[in-house]
């Protein structure tokens, strides 16, 4: 019997990405057999995703699904990622994965770890006295939030602005915060209500401010503010390898891993 937290992680990921990609005009949020599209065709690559959504043990079925996903991504203007949950692959399909990926010209991009925790409310943390937090409520702050994420993840500034600019969702619905150290914006984190949980998204720190605890502090502030407003205790996220130890220290634990791929050529 599948661990329910694996299912939970997949449901949270896809449903949250329907919201985040769907915040952009003309996004494709359709579902096909075994595939879920969350594709804004945005210069901000996070908003362009195709998820495999079924258990697969048959290598022929896996090849068919990845062929369809590859053709779909290849038809778009902007790059994005194809997501495969490692716990959805079994038997010969799992053994043949590398060969199928090569045949479909899919190149590994990065691993994403699903994480969850009933961690709220948080114990009162001690922040540096120089660190202050402001919620994103206007377009100027939203652009700054986008720029910090672009810098933190190595994207062009225009990509982040295209991914977030003009959004009422990020200014009015998301509990999106910017951390300021001595008046300079250095970090971001957002907690978003999704299916009776708080989903943590777009956590970033400017490169010249990293490894000083600002990211973790902003995460804690955003989560606590969202908890104070909603009372929701359970929270989910999907972490890069760099962020994983930070979230462990906050109180999250691992649920599953998502392998992501780009179309090569």
Distance CA 181, CA 198 (A): 26
Distance CA 187, CA 217 (A): 9
CATH superfamily assigned to domain 131-232: Gcn5-related N-acetyltransferase (GNAT) (3.40.630.30)
Distance CA 121, CA 138 (A): 27
User: Which residues of the chain form CATH 3.40.630.30?
Assistant: 131-232
Checking if the pLDDT of 126 tops 80, the result is no
**Pairing, β 81-85 against β 48-52:** parallel
Give the pTM. 0.95
Checking if the pLDDT of 129 tops 90, the result is no
User: What are the counts of helices (DSSP H) followed by strands (DSSP E) for the chain?
Assistant: 9, 11
Name the nearest CA neighbour of 235 among 46, 8, 7, 3.
Answer: 8
Task: Give the Cβ contact number of residue 175 at 10 Å.
Answer: 23
Q: What's residue 73's pLDDT? A: 97
Q: Which of the pair, 20 or 128, is modelled with greater confidence?
A: 20
User: Of the given ranges (35-39, 129-133, 220-224, 230-234), which has the lowest mean pLDDT?
Assistant: 129-133
């Amino acid at each position: 019997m599948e661990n329910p937290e694996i299912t939970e992680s997949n449901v949270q990921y896809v449903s949250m990405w329907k919201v985040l990609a769907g915040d952009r005009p003309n996004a494709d949020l359709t579902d096909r057999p075994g595939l879920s599209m969350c594709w804004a065709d945005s210069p901000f690559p996070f908003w362009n995703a195709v998820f495999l959504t079924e258990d697969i043990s048959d290598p022929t079925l896996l090849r068919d699904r990845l062929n369809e996903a590859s053709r779909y991504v290849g038809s778009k203007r902007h790059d994005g990622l194809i997501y495969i949950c490692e716990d959805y692959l079994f038997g010969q399909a799992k053994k043949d994965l590398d060969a199928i990926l090569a045949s479909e010209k899919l190149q590994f991009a990065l691993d994403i770890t699903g994480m969850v925790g009933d961690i709220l409310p948080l114990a009162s943390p001690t922040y540096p006295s120089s660190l202050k937090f402001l919620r994103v409520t206007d377009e100027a702050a939203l652009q700054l939030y986008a720029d910090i994420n672009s810098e933190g993840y190595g994207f062009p500034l225009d990509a982040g602005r295209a991914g977030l600019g003009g959004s009422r969702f990020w200014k009015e619905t998301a509990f999106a915060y910017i951390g300021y150290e001595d008046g300079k914006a250095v970090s971001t984190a957002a907690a978003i209500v999704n299916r009776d949980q708080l989903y943590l998204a777009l956590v970033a720190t400017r490169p010249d401010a990293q490894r000083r605890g600002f990211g973790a502090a902003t995460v804690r502030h955003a989560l606590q503010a969202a908890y104070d407003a909603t009372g929701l205790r359970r929270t989910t996220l999907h972490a890069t390898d760099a962020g994983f130890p930070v979230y462990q220290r906050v109180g999250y634990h691992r649920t599953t891993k998502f392998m992501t791929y780009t179309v090569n050529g």
